[in-house]
Chain A
Amino acid sequence: MQRTYKKALPHMVLIAYVAVILIPFAFVLLSSLKTNNVEISKSPFGLPESWRFLNYKETWLNAKINVYFWNSFYLSTIAAAVGVFLAAATAFALTRMKFKQISKAIYQFILIGMLIPGNVLFIAQYLLVSKMNILDTHWALFLPYTAGALPFSVLLISAFMRSLPSELEEAAIVDGLSSPMLFVKIILPLTIPALVTMFIINFLGNWNEFLLSNFFISTDKLKTLPTGLFSLRDAYASNYAQICTGIVISVAPVLIIYTILQEKIIEGLTAGGVKG
């Protein structure tokens, strides 16, 4: 008897912890289907009077979450893809091409980027973007996001490429392949696991990014999801049900990706610490 109790204890503690993690989400989900603050006030824990799926339609259209969603989606995807591609090309050049001394120097140079904490560059980037005249356009996010992906991606992809045997190229070169073709046809396909991981990580980083997207973009229809949700919250303060639908819409895609790819994500994010 005591034995089972002892065995159950860790589980009880852990279940409690998991509950603390999940209950806020459940509360938000529940609230998102209620009518407005008044109803939430009356029955915070109860089921909604009528399951107002209409809230989702309203938030998606009237509150323009669909615009923010699309902006986030296409910006995150393209910046992540371009970033990873550039990083892969650079990693190839640094690790597989025969310019050892220079490569080492460039590698160290790029690594410095990992030392710099996120916000330190914020103001200077703001001033730069402003001078480049791209403030309040999507370029103001696309370029920093892509650049931001580079240090960590180069680091990780280089590590991966180094582990590939060098005989690979030799055979291909004998066949008459040039470097770019070598890169595309031989090396790239083999680094796909690392590329995919980096893409996911950078995609998530971009999708979640708030500071730049909030201050570099002011035109409403260009906003990304975190910023859009933020201004939504202030505008709809009297109807938290709407705000909760916004939260759910914001969080759902990430959770879906996470459920499918959790191993990869965990593995990628915990390798080498936190990005940015």
Chain B
Amino acid sequence: MNRKVGTTIALLLATSTVLAACGGNNNNGANESASPSPSASPAASSPASEAPASEKVEKFEVSLRHIQVGEAQKFRKAILDDIVDKVEAEIPGLEFELDGLQDSFNRFTKLPAEMAAGKPPKIFDLFGGPGDAIKYAKAGKLLDLTPIITELGIQDKFQGLSTFTYEGKVYGLPIGGSVEGLFYNKEIFAANGVNPPKTWDEFLAAAETLKSKGITPIASGSQAPWVPLMLVNTLIGRTAGPDAILGLADGTKKWTDADVVLAFSKYEELVKKGYLTKGELGLNYDQQRDEFLSGKAAMLFDGSWRSSLFSAGALGESLIGKVDFIALPSLADGKGDQTGLNTNFANGYGFSSDLNDNELKAVKSFIKEMYTEEIQVRGLLEDGVLPSMKVSPDSVNKVENELTKAALNVLASSASSFPHFDAVVPGEVYKEVENQIQKLAAGKVDAAGMGAAIQKVADATPAQ
């Protein structure tokens, strides 16, 4: 009896140890072999072996981190896959190792950790601004792209590279951009006798009418604080003028200034009057979208990238032709240009400064293939992403998606633009804004209190 048990145990333990060893190996093996979902751990795999002469076709891998995961990003993923194929065909021996991560996880958790450890992927999704690209550029982690884009002749073709430029050198290239504005359901409006609002007062009146009819005026979901901050950002641009955002970044404007606080109180007004989805602090970005798509809510303040929802085969298919996109209505008590828009051209790709010859070749080819008019137009047509590079008017005319067209129109008819403050203010300040907007939405703080709390953190944060 004892013997049998003893042997069984010995066997069990032996098997487990072997399995454990295999498990460890399997893990590494699985990470390097092709898998149906293109995700591999950059930490476990190691990039290329040196191949000094290009006579022998030596295989090497280049890690590529992207954020095109999930249903909403499938069009961009398709474009990325095409680029990957093209570049692999061009550079013998090259194999890209794609690693797809959720946007905010990559931006705020994974990439910073990898930068700190000195081991970022070779090519990665990167945001511009002092909290991201500029920070890494200062620490010497990013490849200087100025010579490459000069060589390729595209250095003047970008709409704006300021968020990726440090000390005159370019460290990242934006992929495309967006504007933020108001989506509204034309059908619901018509059924309830509401006209698209041109002024803030009309906007409030429309919301009141809708609310009285049992329709949620504005779809909201503030569980992830960046979502409500889209509206807040545009409000600041309207109450304090288009230069206010940059002013907040360099300290010439304070979060406690009356015009900035006015923006907060405009948002507060929406909360107090009950125009936002009930229980919205517990709803995430997807649920906010669903509120609008299901017809429960009549309006949605969001980015123009949402236009891809309203195309064949996408989640908002049933609403095609029933939705329009306009700029935020003008504020009577606003300051400066009331057609001012939030435009974002701060998301793109960056490259590690730690590259060997082969990897550098791959990077150059990647940039060459990715940043072309053709790809820009594809992004525009297939995904509603506004071009970050200058494209010919003919291409623009090819757009069929109603909402992408509306976004382009809104962009064209606005006289000024401003960035999102998350791209220009220090990370600690941005986090405090996130903290405060949720408190504002919960009624725990008022507009003035919010401004004061943010300014306190801004004062304590060293200048960039």
Contacts and interface: CB of A to CB of B under 8 A. Distances in A.
Interface of A: 74-75, 77-78, 81-82, 85, 130-131, 133-139, 142, 184-185, 188-190, 192, 195, 218-222, 234-235, 237-238
A184 B10 contact: yes
A138 B9 contact: no
B2 interface: yes
Given A74-B19, A136-B44, A219-B41, A81 B117 contact: no
B284 A142 contact: no
Interface in B12-30: 12-13, 16-17, 19-20, 23-24, 27-28, 30
Contacts of A190: 2
B394 interface: no
Given A78-B16, A136-B41, A234-B286, A189 B5 contact: yes
Contacts of A184: 6, 10
26 contacts: A74-B23, A78-B19, A78-B20, A81-B16, A82-B16, A131-B117, A133-B119, A135-B43, A136-B44, A137-B31, A137-B41, A137-B44, A184-B10, A188-B9, A189-B5, A189-B6, A192-B5, A218-B101, A218-B105, A219-B39, A220-B37, A221-B39, A222-B27, A235-B286, A237-B284, A237-B287
Contacts of A133: 43-44, 117, 119
Interface string B100-121: 0100010000100100010100
A235 B70 CA distance: 9
Contacts of A85: 13, 16
Contacts of A188: 6, 9
Given A137-B43, A142-B20, A189-B6, 7 more contacts: A78-B23, A81-B16, A82-B17, A133-B119, A137-B28, A218-B110, A237-B287
Contacts of A222: 27, 41
B261 interface: no
Contacts of A235: 70, 286
Contacts of A135: 43, 113
Interface in B73-112: 99, 101, 105, 110
Contacts of A189: 2, 5-6, 9
A220 B39 contact: yes
A188 B3 CA distance: 11
A219 B40 contact: yes
A134 B13 CA distance: 24
A134 B119 CA distance: 13
Q: Across the A-B interface, give the 3 residue pairs with the lowest CB-CB distance, nearest first.
A: A81-B16, A189-B2, A136-B41
A192 B24 contact: no
Contact of A142 (B23, B28, B70, B286): B23
A135 B27 CA distance: 12
Interface of B: 2, 5-6, 9-10, 12-13, 16-17, 19-20, 23-24, 27-28, 30-31, 35, 37, 39-41, 43-44, 70, 99, 101, 105, 110, 113, 117, 119, 284, 286-287, 290
A38 to B, nearest CB: 10
Nearest to A81: B16
A221 B35 contact: yes
Contact of A137 (B16, B27, B99, B284): B27
Contacts, number: 84
B117 A130 contact: yes
B-side binding surface: helix, strand, loop or mixed? helix
B28 to A, nearest CB: 8
A82 B6 contact: no
Q: Among B9, B19, B287, which residue has the most Cβ atoms of chain A within 10 A?
A: B9
B35 A81 contact: no
A85 B287 CA distance: 47
Contacts of A238: 286-287, 290
Nearest to B117: A130
A216 to B, nearest CB: 11
A64 B318 CA distance: 29
Contact of A81 (B5, B13, B27, B110): B13
A37 to B, nearest CB: 10
Contacts of A131: 117
Contact of A139 (B5, B27, B117): B27
A102 B9 CA distance: 29
A187 to B, nearest CB: 10
Nearest to B100: A220
A168 to B, nearest CB: 12
Contacts of A234: 284, 286
A219 B6 CA distance: 39
A192 B24 CA distance: 28
Contacts of B12: 81
A62 to B, nearest CB: 12
Nearest to A215: B109
Contacts of A82: 16-17, 20
A192 B37 CA distance: 43
Nearest to A146: B20
Given A77-B16, A81-B16, A134 B43 contact: yes
Contacts of B28: 137
B286 A237 contact: yes
A131 B43 CA distance: 10
Contacts of A218: 101, 105, 110
B162 to A, nearest CB: 31
A43 B41 CA distance: 44
B454 to A, nearest CB: 27
Contact of A138 (B6, B27, B37): B27
A72 to B, nearest CB: 13
Contacts of B117: 130-131, 133
A78 B13 CA distance: 9
Nearest to B13: A85
Contacts of A185: 2, 6
A142 B27 CA distance: 12
Contacts of B5: 189, 192
B185 to A, nearest CB: 19
A189 B30 CA distance: 37
Contacts of A219: 39-41, 99
B35 to A, nearest CB: 7
A58 to B, nearest CB: 16
Given A131-B117, A133-B43, A189-B6, A138 B35 contact: no
